[in-house]
Amino acid sequence: MSAFCEDYESVAKYPQGIFGKPRPENSPLIRCLQWGDNVQGSERDVTFQSAKELTDKASNDRLRVVFMPNCTRETTLPDVQEFKKIFKYYSVPSDVLTERMRSVNHAFGSSQAIESEAHISWCHFLCRQIDVHGSKIQDYGFLRDETGEQSQSDVSKLWIMCDFFLHVSKDKRVTLLCFGVPDLVVHRFERLLTKTSWGDVLQEPYLLYAIVFDELHEIFDSLSKVLTTAFKKVEGAVIGQASAPPLNFRQLHEIQKYVSSPILKTAQV
């Protein structure tokens, strides 16, 4: 990627507009799983509180999967600075940051890092969270509730938002940065800590995306089934009321919100 394409003015606004809560003070900023010929058992799963700790201790490993929370408009300034140091170290281009600030649903890109021979790639994932109890969707976002009062639901609970950034250095060191990932993705990589086949990733780094997409597709499939449960009941009720108005327009509105989404299209297959 050419420096000509970089939008430093937009990067200066980061993380403007990204929703979510700051991380709890007692939780680590960075969790790192790592594989390598010289990596001992106790070094396979470590935590760091700063970008410097992460980058200074990168010499003994060949493969790293790094987990961090989402950087949001509520993130403290010191943490934002740590995020930006990591972005600079791993040559994260401005596109990656602006795509997240624009709430891109799904995106994938790859490039050569500016001023280095590292290969970089990234993907974004944004999907509505769906909570159903008794075949009824519980999540109405910021619609008014049954009493007419405005709902104050935490917007971060309404969405599954995560980002992945893959960095492959000139000497074939592979690092996958994961931001705000669901527990399923974390647990999948935890199960791989003792695998001796980790070296395959050094030859084909995109194997990491195969793991990521497998878990994200599982999440997506589960959500589609949950939505189908709610959709069928409301659809049946609406059809039953078609000859006997008035219709339940609140329920119809809930269906309309999802009708153009990939989740509903999956649910109807």
Q: What pLDDT is stored for residue 68 in this prediction?
A: 97
- Work out the average pLDDT over 217-243: 77
Token output for 30: 């960075």
- Work out the average pLDDT over 246-266: 60
Q: What pLDDT is stored for residue 263 in this prediction?
A: 53
Unique residue bearing structure tokens 């891109």:
104
Q: What pLDDT is stored for residue 33 in this prediction?
A: 97
Q: What pLDDT is stored for residue 82 in this prediction?
A: 97
Q: Evaluate if residue 248 carries a pLDDT over 50.
A: yes
Minimal CA–CA distance to 214: which of 182, 185, 175, 241? 185
- For the stretch 2-39, what's the b/e string if a residue is b when 16 or more beta carbons lie within 10 angstroms of its beta carbon? eeeeeeeeebeebbeebbbeebeeeeebbbbbbbbeeb
Write down the mean pLDDT value for the chain: 84
* Cα separations in angstroms, 158 against 131, 214, 233, 268: 9, 22, 22, 22
Cα–Cα–Cα angle for 98, 67, 101, rounded to 5 degrees: 15
- Considering only the C-alpha atoms of the chain, give the largest distance between any 2 of them, rounded to a whole number of Å: 73
* CATH superfamily of the 3-221 domain: CorA soluble domain-like (3.30.460.20)
pLDDT tens digits, residue range 22-53?
888 889 999 999 999 888 888 899 999 999 99
Pairing assessment for the beta strands 174-179 and 30-35 based on DSSP bridges: unpaired
Q: In whole angstroms, give the CA distance from residue 254 to residue 104.
A: 22
Q: What pLDDT is stored for residue 16 in this prediction?
A: 93
Residues 174 and 65: beta-carbon distance below 8 Å? no
| Cβ neighbour number for residue 137 with a 10 Å cutoff | 21
Q: Evaluate if residue 207 carries a pLDDT over 70.
A: yes
Cα–Cα–Cα angle for 186, 128, 231, rounded to 5 degrees: 120
Q: What pLDDT is stored for residue 35 in this prediction?
A: 95
* Cα separations in angstroms, 208 against 30, 84, 140, 155: 19, 23, 35, 29
Q: Evaluate if residue 241 carries a pLDDT over 90.
A: no
Q: Evaluate if residue 267 carries a pLDDT over 50.
A: no
pLDDT tens digits, residue range 165-204?
999 999 889 999 999 999 999 999 999 999 999 999 999 9
Most confident of 142-156, 200-214, 228-242: 200-214
- Strand segments, DSSP code E, in the chain are 30-35, 45-48, 63-68, 106-112, 119-128, 132-133, 136-137, 159-168, 174-179
Q: Evaluate if residue 245 carries a pLDDT over 60.
A: no
Map out the domains of the chain as residue ranges: 3-221
Q: In whole angstroms, give the CA distance from residue 167 to residue 120.
A: 5
